[in-house]
Structure 1
Amino acid sequence: MLLENLINYGLSDKEAKVYLAALELNESSAQDIAKLAKINRATVYVIIESLVRNGLISIVRRGKKSMYLAANPNKMIELLEQQKAKIAAKVDEVRSVLPELETIYNYSPSKPRIRYFEGLAGLQELYRDTLKTNQTIYSFDPVHEGMSKALLKWLGEEYVPERIKKEIDIKVICPHFQQPSTARFIEESKKLRRELRLVPADKFPFTIEIEVYGSKVAIISYDVKEMFGVIIESEAVHKTMKCIFDLSWEGATKYQENN
């Protein structure tokens, strides 16, 4: 258990064994440490040098002979506090130049920015991005039965409540598949700030979700067998896809009487 704790602290397996051996032996020779740690002596010398650099072992001179003494275990807390202070300083430093860096990141005169996402965590990150602009989202959403259950749960419990909290409306064009997931989607729409227009699934059986928002377009495959997504950040692509959505939204009007 102690060995595992030391490895979690950041030591390698052999470093942890050497430190524990030195701790148990108190002031001791490399040979004694090697014997107790069950690591060959040549390797122990290399590991001791590493632990000395990290402040976890100190060298004690006894005449011409070098002995080794493990630092008090409290030293690890002290070292972690030092690392914490250094990280905090780095965070502050990055934070101070963040506005400048974001200006460079956001400046794209002609070249679009494309990002790829994969798996559950990737799609969660993608969906979170759609809430950054606080503007209406325009969506083509197939709402099909093959959707990952874990993603569906996360959308219902975290994403949608966050969207509602931010007062972000969404307009959705959805193929009217005769399935439970579509029925639930229709039933819940009004209370979830979601305006919905259904189109015949036999004429428009799309299975990929498209989100048009901000200056971006997200393309999402949330099928459990193929979970990936792409965000394209481009004014031209966004403008074109928004026109396509508006045209589709207007065209979907004629199907509403039958739904």
Structure 2
Amino acid sequence: MNLDTLENLGLNQREISTYLALLKLGSASIRDIAAQTGINRGTTYETLKDLAGKGVVSYFPKGKRRIFSAEPPEKLLELAEEKRQSLEATIEEMKIRLIPQLNHLKPDFSAGNVRFYEGDSGIEFVLKDILNTVAQQKEREYSVFSSKLIRQHLYRPFPNYTQQRIRKNIKVRVIAIGEGGEDAELSERKWIDAKGRMDASYIAIYPPKVAMISLGSRNYPVAVVLDSPEIAAAQQIIFETLWSTL
């Protein structure tokens, strides 16, 4: 029997053991429950009080003693439903009030608005951040400057990135520096004919953020993410101006 689900209801292992013992015993005293679980009587009493507070155990007096009974297992389902409703209300409260209020406490710009990532795991995090951020916006679209040399390395840690983007119905416009680049659904591409030396670079504009990815020695990827509506807006103007001329 897999009882891990009960832990998600806020029951610890001692409470689960006590509840199961009561189910087997029916009605029982603290002494009998403690003997069944192997937990000392003082701890058993405190555990039973906690379970009673959660509504899954009840008791009645019998002389000078208390006799405890487990509520039917269906009570656990009711407890889960109560937690679900409470969590939904909490999420809604966070969306409407708490998160906006917390964001007002942040300075307009600080060192926390600039984040550095490196290696394949870091690049994967940035790529996922692009998708997650854009997916929450009304206009699901972002813009990219991408050079030829970085393309074979960019999606190495996230090979199904394009499929995920399409699944989320996110559109991308790319100004490609140098020839090549894949044709994909929900994607538009224009090219700049690069002559001479060309470095590996990738700039994604997904307001309020801008991500800049490049390659270090031995093709080691590094990234900087700026969380700044002003910088993102300026980069978007540059992109739109150049896009209209190509």
One fold, TM greater than 0.5? yes
Q: 2:234 aligns to what?
A: 239
Report the 3-state secondary structure (helix = DSSP H, G, I; strand = E; otherwise coil) of the residue aligned with 2:159. helix
Deviations 1:78-118 (A, max 9, x none): 222222333344445455558x938x848999536726487
- Contact residue 172 and residue 194 of structure 1 kept, 8 A: yes
Q: 1:62 & 1:195 partners in 2: Cα distance?
A: 84
What's the CA shift for 1:67? 1.6
Q: 1:212 aligns to what?
A: 205
Report the 3-state secondary structure (helix = DSSP H, G, I; strand = E; otherwise coil) of the residue aligned with 1:186. coil
Deviations 1:212-235 (A, max 9, x none): 244531234799976866242141
Q: 2:181 aligns to what?
A: 186
1:77 aligns with 2:77: yes
Map 1:1-259 → 2, pairs under 5 A:
1-94=1-94, 97=97, 101=100, 105=103, 111=109, 114=113, 116=115, 119=121, 120=124, 123-130=127-134, 132=137, 133-134=139-140, 137-141=143-147, 142-145=150-153, 147-149=155-157, 151-153=158-160, 155-160=161-166, 162=168, 165=169, 167-173=171-177, 186-188=181-183, 192-197=187-192, 199=194, 203-206=197-200, 208-220=201-213, 230-236=225-231, 238-239=233-234, 243=238
- Contact residue 21 and residue 33 of structure 1 kept, 8 A: yes
Deviations 1:166-213 (A, max 9, x none): 554232335x7xxxxxxxx6252698322233646x82232x532124
Counterpart amino acid of residue 111 in structure 1: F
Alpha-carbon RMSD across the aligned residues, in angstroms, is: 4.3
Could you tell me the TM-score, scaled by structure 1's length?
A: 0.68
Stretches of structure 2 that go unaligned for 5 or more consecutive residues are none
- Contact residue 3 and residue 13 of structure 1 kept, 8 A: no
What's the CA shift for 1:4? 3.4
What's the CA shift for 1:152? 1.9
Q: % of aligned pairs identical?
A: 22
Q: 2:144 & 2:240 partners in 1: Cα distance?
A: 7
Counterpart amino acid of residue 163 in structure 2: E
Distance change in 2, residues 1:84/1:221 (3 Å): farther
- Contact residue 218 and residue 229 of structure 1 kept, 8 A: yes
Could you tell me the TM-score, scaled by structure 2's length?
A: 0.71
